[in-house]
Amino acid sequence: MATVALSLDQLECGRRARVVSMDERDSTSVRLMEMGITPGEVVESLGFAPFGDPLAIHVRGSRLALRSHQARKIQVELEECELRSSV
Amino acid sequence: MTASSVAKTSQFGTRTLQFALVGNPNTGKSTLFNALVGGKAHTGNFPGVTVEKKTGQLQHAGQTVQLIDLPGTYSLSPRSLDELLTVDVLLGRQPEIGQIDGIICIANAVNLERQLYLFSQLAECGLPLVLVLNMWDTAQARELKIDLEALRSKLGVPVIATEAHRGRGVEGVKDAILQAAAAGVAPAYGVEFPGDFQQACRDVSAFVTENLRADAAYPEFLCARLILDVDGAAEARLAPQVPDLKQRLQDVRAALRQVGHELPALESQQRYAWCRQLASAVVQSPTVRKRSWTDRLDAVLTHRLWGLLICTGLMFLVFQALFSWAEPLMGYCETGQEWVSGVVTASMSPGSLRSLLTDGVIAGVGGVLIFLPQIMLLFLFIAILEDSGYMARAAYMVDRLLSVFGLNGKSFLPLMSSFACAVPGIMATRVIEDRKDRMVTILIAPLMSCSARLPVYLLLIAAFVPQQHVLGGFLSVQGMVLFGMSALGAVVAIPVAWLFRKTLFRGAPSSFVMELPDYKIPSLKLVLLRSYRCGKTFVLRAGTLIFATTIVVWAAAYFPGDHTLIHELDAQIEALADETSAAEEVSKLQSERNEISGKLISESVLGQAGRAVEPVVKPLGWDWKIGMGVLASFPAREVVIATLGTIYSLGGDQHEESESLQDAMRDSKWPDGTPVYNLPVALSLMVFFALCAQCASTLVIMKRETNSWRWPALCFIYMTGLAYVGSLLTYQVSRWIMT
């Protein structure tokens, strides 16, 4: 399956992607994992706040806000269906 | 639920059952708690920690159940000693509560999978559990089909669907509590951790138990936390008693990593795998996520332009409404105060006691109570914004702005609450995980314009700011000044926070993780209850602290001095008051009386102290009476009104036909006959109160939350300095502009 790797802060608003990996040593990442952002999970970007940060995502039925410097530590991949629709 | 299972509960005899209520934030936990205990809750604090202890009792089928409402949390992994308390209560290690009989886990039915994470941790505490799926109606509206029977049989615990805001399902929860307590068993179906990990937990437990020389084995649940939470609260607490703990845990973690377990990711991966498996078996959801109301509202309310405009507009509207809506209500309060004062005056002969009652207590406490409508309205607005889910959006939108000054979006709610009162505001900083962010937020919280300042602003604005409307009558000038004064502290807080972040609390930018809950119609009951509780606190304060200060101020202004002549004059005036022909004589006696009383007050203890401070406050445009009023208001800002009320009432400054403080202030004169108060003086006084730290409760709570007197001392010094300079500038500049 063709995939494109990027970090969560690069995900465009309205797009869905699968979490590949995250920086586990960071305590905030551990908190994010507890709140449902775990490797293998699909997240949807809901865009950025009015001043350009933080960003909001939809994951496991809830909306979470996090700052982009944290999102940068989360690697995601666009899935094939998403790739096709973006062309 | 069958009748027979309820009947079994007779086995508890007269013993009160204890159940803890635990759940994620935004699940309607407070609503369910209130519905279960009928709004009768006792709040306090657990000793030694800053966690609110909220308990309440319910009676069901002849059985009394004590409910303990624990703070909303996403996980039982304790990051702070405060969070560790939740775990302690659940494990029966909290001496004030003792062993509990079971746990009620409340979850939002809309995202069951995520909410099962906490449930999976609770299931490991070894206690009977009840799972409540709240917001059932919303789940139905989203076309989520949850098979309750399947969930019950899989989990082996009672599962109840509720709509707590409508009171639906609440009786079912009560039945389930008794059912769970009667069965007395913990759910058997939980997350299976790898054998290596389970063995490691047992090893650590044996190690800790041995080191503590304890009789009972150290709970495995806490041992799992010790292994999983690197530098967590469980480790921090145990480290002083178990010297080799840190090394031992490092070895255990290294060994687990060696065999391929990723720590700490292991926990969330295992748990969420379990949650997913369970949820997919019992929940049927529409394949495509439909655009919900929340999505549609968010598109506007967090929009780059509209979102910010609406946010600013909302805040502005709140302050405009405070002024225009509360005015008629305040009128009633004032009439009531005048009536009481009239009754007392009429039924007592002139003397010290009457003076204490009318000039001291009624003029003082009454002057503060008038502002009850405003304060309750402000709390009402805040409660509505919070309960509707809007407050989280506001935090989300301002996070970037606040991060520039080293704060974060989570500082928004504490700071916004501080607009009502800094005490709950400072307590609300507990949600900020980062210590530096939390400290800075605590230090600047008292700068937010709290409701105690509101009376001061309202009084001065009503008396000295022209009652004009601009922009076609839509905006009142008074409302704009009120908005400006309320905003001043927040504006000043920006550089102050930045400075703190650059000096005392330097460090890397912190994190911000926050859930944005679904929007909902605020629960009327909850909102009114919160407003009522805050109003009650305000009245209690007026009845105790302000009451006491008022009496002290009255005494200081009354003694020493011979008041016999005044009382004689009062008696004469009152005797003549009904005769219209004696009007001239009355006014002559009145002015004589005022002259004497003015002389008496300036010779009183208060007057002498006042003249000593006058050189310091004169550059601010204040006379000694204002200076004393401000000094005496150290216990609480709003006391200044009571103090001024007492000073003017005793000083005879007030007009004979009106009892109101506003008029007394307008009539107040310098010795040369020029009015004391004008717009620059009023502004200077308001700016002082906007920036000063005149609030003993705030300083005390700050000490409690930071565990040191150093921070309240710093706060008092920096705020008083700011207040003096700000007030000086305001007076001098505005006087220069006006002349």
Pairing state between β B41-45 and A16-22: unpaired
Instruction: In whole angstroms, give the CA distance from residue B52 to residue B470.
Output: 46
* pLDDT at site B657: 41
Nearest Cα of chain A lies from the Cα of B187 at a distance, in angstroms, of 21
**Partner-chain contact B401 A51, CB within 8 Å:** yes
Instruction: In whole angstroms, give the CA distance from residue B324 to residue B476.
Output: 9
Residue B364: pLDDT band (50, 70, 90) is low
| Chain A residue whose CA is closest to B305 | A50
**Could you give the domains of chain A?**
4-86 (2.30.30.90)
Report helix angle B29-37 to B170-183, nearest 10: 80
Closest CA to B387 of B532, B536, B518: B518
Nearest Cα of chain A lies from the Cα of B149 at a distance, in angstroms, of 22
> Tens digit of pLDDT for each residue in B138-169?
899 888 899 999 999 999 899 999 998 888 99
Q: A19 — phi, psi (to 5°)?
A: -70, 130
Q: For B184-292, where are the alpha helices, taking DSSP H only?
A: 195-212, 220-228, 233-238, 245-258, 265-282
Instruction: In whole angstroms, give the CA distance from residue A78 to residue A6.
Output: 8
Closest CA to B593 of B572, B623, B611: B572
Contact criterion met (CB below 8 Å) for B409 and B326 = no
Contact residues, chain B, for A46 at CB < 8 Å:
298
B512: nearest CB among A38, A58, A66: A66
Q: Worst-scoring range by mean pLDDT, B520-529, B660-669, B680-689, B727-736?
A: B660-669
* pLDDT at site A81: 59
> Tens digit of pLDDT for each residue in B433-475?
778 888 999 999 999 988 778 778 888 888 788 777 777 666 7
Q: Worst-scoring range by mean pLDDT, B40-54, B113-127, B164-178, B309-323?
A: B40-54
Q: What is the DSSP string of B623-681?
A: -HHHHHHHHHTSSBTTHHHHHHHHHHHHHT-S-TT---HHHHHHH-B-TTS-BS--HHH
Instruction: Please tell me whether residue A5 adopts helix, strand or coil conformation.
Output: strand
> Tens digit of pLDDT for each residue in B55-75?
999 999 889 999 999 888 888
Range 508-527 of B in CB contact (< 8 A) with A: 509, 511-517
Contact residues, chain B, for A56 at CB < 8 Å:
302, 396, 516
Contact criterion met (CB below 8 Å) for B51 and B82 = yes
Residues of A with a Cβ under 8 Å from any B Cβ are 24, 27-28, 30-36, 38-39, 41, 44, 46, 49-54, 56, 58, 60-67, 69-70
A62: nearest CB among B114, B263, B433: B114
Contact residues, chain B, for A54 at CB < 8 Å:
396, 399-400, 409, 512
B176 versus A29: the higher-pLDDT residue is: B176
**Dihedral sign of CA atoms B226, B230, B236, B241 in order:** positive
